[in-house]
Chain A
Amino acid sequence: MNASTSACVSRVCQRVWLALLFGFIAAPMLIIVVFSFDANRFPAIPWGGFSLQWHQAILEDAMVMEAFGNTVLVALSTAVLSTVLGFAAAYIDHRYRFRGKTAFSLLVAIPPAVPATILGMAMLAFLSRVGVFGTVQAIVACHVALATSFSMAIIRLRLGELGHDLEQAAWNLGASPATALMQVVVPFCKRSLIAAFFLSAAVSFDEFMVAWFIGGVHETLPVRILNLLQGQVSPKVNAIGTVVLAISVALVLLAQRFVGVRVGRPATTTGSETP
């Protein structure tokens, strides 16, 4: 085998492996969507024909609709709070040096690294002691503690491109630190703030372990799915799943569009978003 054929074989092998890998990653999502339109009660081959009955059934399911309402409320509140807190944390990390700074940054960054089961248990044990659990607000509070890590990471990346000169110029021109923050730093970070909003909404929208522990009778949609799956097989799960997947994918793609992740190049193109 000469060099060019071996390179060719290697090329084909690489592409095949990549296709298999993406097939493995995409297959579960495609299966949920495809079988949500299946007339059969139990998802199986052969396909039972196209039907919208399960999608209609979830519209009439009061528990699912209530869970959906809770999820939207929790995800939106989490997104707003996480974006604000994430920006504050990123800015502090970017601009100040102080004793205990590593501890401060870790406090924000580390929650996603703790297994959700442990986190959920710890939050429930603590919050039930203080008497605030089993409410939608408690879920929001805990989701914010989790999601702020992601928004801080995205915004910190953008702040790294700001440097320190622009702000100093604003101070020299007479702006107070707060004015400089609002008029220079926030506009500079606008796109990453939007990305942080969508990303933390996606984190909350997808989270079930903490919501399961904390929420009590207030179920979010992922918790409803978990409870449905632990009961009898319900063909509604695929229909709910299709809606959930559509929303998750939309949120993540929106976040990506605003953060503009690139490999081997700066995270965003500098200057494109300065006012």
Chain B
Amino acid sequence: MDTLHPVATPMAMMAGRPAPGHRNRGPDKLPIALGLPVMAWQIAFFAGPLLFLVVITFWRVRSFRLEPALSLDNWTRVLGSGTFQQAMLHTATIAATATLLALAMALPAAYTIALRLPSKVRDMAIAALVVPVLSSYILRIYAWQIVLSPEGIANSLLGGLGIGPLPLLGGAFSLQIGLLTLTLPIAVLILVFALGGVDKSLIEAAGNLGCRRVRVVWNVLLPAIRPALVLAASSTFLLAFGDYVGPLFMTGSNPPTLSILIVDTVKSGSQWPRASVIGVSMLVLLGLVYGAGQRFTARRFS
């Protein structure tokens, strides 16, 4: 923060700051006064804790107390354990599945909302998508539990048709319903904003040149919104990968995901270092996924 200086626009240079009529009162203290509190806050309550998390992966637990140390023991134990490896594979698989499902479901919907609906209806659709993003995910998962449980609403309705009862709750199906509840609104929103921003003349030009609609979507729209596709995919993956409540209530944490493993490790005792190893491993994997997405965005479309 030592080299703060205002953006040098031509007008500022002509005017010559500080403005005439003001005596030079030394360097502008405003950026320090504005920037320091927010920086201190984010370091104390975000960056600091995360760095500390990395540090304690090397610490030891002696008689239920954390002790500073420089040991790789936690890393080798956790990374070598079958439970962790299975959970990692399981979590990555369900997150990847949720990503593919969310994109496949969101794309046609986003296309209709952004390019086919009149603007009034479109604004309402967007409002209806923003609301669930910030309205109690736990409650919505609980609602699916009510619907999908053995004596639940879905089985009552299916029973009326002479089907079932089906074991809807507790498998891959219910888990994906839970994860899509979390991720679908966000995926649709990202794609709606991207498609809404595509230059309409591109679409018209393709149409005028005799392009059929499927080809317009495939050869014009999708390449134009590639960064948004990557953003939607990585956001979905990130949310599904880190989710705790969905797997907990939709599958009864069987098999456990990495988030469930973290909570169990922390709550069952004082194995903070091992829980931290799981957490840091998750962040590394998310970083790799994000990096891969960025490379994919940067590569030129052939």
Chain A: CB-nearest residue to B200:
A264
The contact string, 1 if C-beta is below 8 Å from chain A, for chain B 282-301, is 11001000000000000000
B116 interface contact, C-beta 8 A: yes
Nearest CB in chain A: distance from B204 CB, A: 14
Question: Across the interface, which residues of A come within 8 angstroms of B171, CB to CB?
Answer: none
Contact of A121 among B47, B157, B262 (CB under 8 A): B262
- The answer on a CB contact under 8 Å between A17 and B50 is no
How far is the CB of B152 from the nearest CB of chain A, in Å?
7
Q: Are B109 and A21 interface neighbours, CB within 8 A?
A: yes
- Point out the residue from A24, A43, A252 that lies within 8 Å of B130, measured CB to CB: A252
Distance (Å) between the CB of B282 and the closest chain A CB? 6
Q: Quick check: B157 and A115 within 8 Å, CB to CB?
A: no
Q: Across the interface, do B127 and A256 meet the contact criterion of CB distance under 8 Å?
A: yes
Neighbour of B134 across the interface among A111, A202, A237, CB < 8 A: A202
Contact with A along B107-142 (1 / 0, CB 8 A): 011011110100000110111111111111111111
A18 touches B112 (CB 8 A): yes
**Which residues of A have CB within 8 Å of B112?**
14-15, 17-18
Question: Across the interface, do B181 and A96 meet the contact criterion of CB distance under 8 Å?
Answer: no
Q: Does B196 contact A (CB under 8 A)?
A: yes
Interface: B52 (CB within 8 A): yes
Instruction: Please indicate which of the listed interface residues B6, B138, B193, B275 has the most CB atoms of chain A within 10 Å of its own CB.
Output: B138
Contact flags B238-253 to A (C-beta < 8 A → 1, else 0): 1001111100010000
Given contacts A17-B109, A27-B143, contact A121 B53 (CB under 8 A): yes
With a 10 A CB-CB cut-off, give which of B130, B141, B151 has the most chain A CB atoms. Answer: B130
Q: With a CB–CB cut-off of 8 A, which chain B residues contact A249?
A: 131, 135
A52 within 8 A of B: no
In which size bucket is the chain B interface?
35 or more
Q: How far is the CB of B132 from chain A (nearest CB, A)?
A: 6
Tell me whether B283 and A114 are in contact (CB under 8 A). Answer: yes
**Interface: A251 (CB within 8 A):** yes
A231 to B: closest C-beta gap in Å: 13
Contact with B along A119-155 (1 / 0, CB 8 A): 1011111110100000000000110111010000000
State A30–B110 Cα separation when bound (angstroms).
23
Q: Pick the contact of B15: A17, A172, A261 (CB < 8 A).
A: A172
How distant is the Cα of A165 from the Cα of B15 in the complex, in angstroms?
11
Scan residues 230-269 of chain B and give those whose CB is less than 8 A from a CB of chain A.
Answer: 238, 241-245, 249, 259, 262-263, 266
Which residues, 32 to 80 on A, are CB-close (under 8 Å) to B? 32, 35, 42-45
Q: Is the CB of A126 within 8 A of B31?
A: no
Q: Which residues of A contact B30 (CB under 8 A)?
A: 177-178, 181
A125 in complex: contacting residue of B52, B122, B156, CB < 8 Å: B52
The distance from the CB of B89 to the nearest CB of chain A, in whole angstroms, is 17
Given contacts A118-B262, A127-B49, A174-B19, contact A98 B4 (CB under 8 A): yes
B58 contacts the other chain (CB 8 A): no
Contact A85 B38 (CB under 8 A): yes
A98's contact among B1, B45, B241, by CB below 8 Å, is which? B1
Residues of A within 8 A of B20 (CB): 172, 174
User: Is A9 an interface residue, CB under 8 A from the partner?
Assistant: no
- Identify the closest chain A residue to B194 (Cβ): A263
Q: Considering residues A99, A121, A256, A262, which has the most beta carbons from chain B within 10 angstroms of its beta carbon?
A: A121
B168 near A: Cβ within 8 Å? no
B146 sits at the interface (CB 8 A): yes
Asked if B169 is an interface residue, CB under 8 A from chain A, the answer is no
* CB of B207 to closest CB in A, whole Å: 13
Contact: A118 with B242, CB < 8 Å?
yes
Interface string of A87-111 (1 = CB under 8 A from B): 0110110011111100010011001
CB-based contact A28/B143 at 8 Å: yes
- CB-defined A-B contacts under 8 Å, sample of 5: A98-B1, A114-B283, A117-B259, A203-B134, A229-B249
Residues of A within 8 A of B (CB): 10-11, 14-15, 17-18, 21-22, 24-29, 31-32, 35, 42-45, 85-86, 88-89, 91-92, 95-100, 104, 107-108, 111, 113-119, 121-127, 129, 141-142, 144-146, 148, 164-165, 168, 171-178, 181, 199, 202-203, 206, 208-209, 213, 222, 225-226, 229, 237, 241, 244-245, 248-249, 251-253, 256, 261-264
Q: A88-B37, A121-B53 are in contact. List 6 more A-B contacts (CB 8 A).
A: A26-B128, A91-B34, A118-B283, A172-B15, A203-B134, A245-B136
